[in-house]
Amino acid sequence: MGTRWHIRYAAPDDVVAERLYEAIERVFASVISDMSHWAVNSRLSAINRSAPGEWHSISDDFAEVLATSLEVAAASGGAFDPAIGALVERCGYGPVAVDRLPTIDEIAAARASGGWRQLELDRAGCRVRRHGEARLDLSGIAKGHAVDRLSKILTEHGISHQLVEIGGEFVGRGLRPDGDPWWVELETPGGCAAPIRVALHQCAVATSGDYVRGRHTIDPRTGYPVAHALAVSVIHDTAMAADAWATALSVLAPAEMMAMATKRGLAVRALTRREGRVVEWLSPALRAMIDD
């Protein structure tokens, strides 16, 4: 996934670390085999190479990720889109390097060939098909899904007190050995706002923005990278949902983002650029958590 992972846990005496590590490695192998657009032999890559209209069998995990992706795409008005692989690749954020920026016509063509509405998911049958040339890209949700999978593996090994992180996406379960919750500080680039520490007790947090990798988040509705989102953090029940919503909200313009987060009751801290300065916004749901 091009990033690092960390796990902290309080383990029962009968946990064998080597077996746990092997189980963790199997999770990563499974996610990459299913959903990596960098691996040419992944299921996702095979679907992208196939002819439109063909049904493709997928794993239950893949189907769950796609179902959540399509739900967030519909709810966000397309601000989150799991089928913008052509745009991502044309802008140079895919597995193949590009030697120039795309032209206006090339961006328009990539947009026309993609879009989540071209996907049809048979959730019960664990299969998917494309009704056009849309290319899947699950980068905005697969990492969060992997965090949830790792947390589940730990729980299956009898580890109920855990903190799991992949590339800045976290899940916290139970408590630290000293009785404190797992404290995680929301990412605040450059100290542009007061720090906020979150007790991750049976919940997750994900952050999207351009403070690490530059302006790499593409607005599916325009085809151009987002310029206003410095860091948007979302606290949710699962890392998968937090990851997808952090991406969607970072794409939406600040006013749209605030309206969407408020309407859906999402716990959000957003740092956005407005008129040459960074503005912090806390959603009503997050303010309620702080007040409690």
Domains contained in the chain, CATH given: 168-291 (3.10.520.10)
pLDDT at residue 215 in the model: 61
Pairing of strands 161-166, 119-122: unpaired
What's the pLDDT at 211? 63
- Per the structure block, which two tokens stand in for 198? 């979150």
Closest C-alpha to 256, from 225, 202, 206, 219: 219
Provide the terminal-to-terminal Cα distance of the chain, rounded to the nearest Å.
36
Q: How are the residues of the chain apportioned to helix, strand and coil, as percentages rounded to the nearest 5?
A: 40, 20, 40
pLDDT for 212: 59
The DSSP symbol for 1 reads -
Q: Which residues of the chain have pLDDT under 50?
A: none
Instruction: Give pLDDT, residue 59.
Output: 97
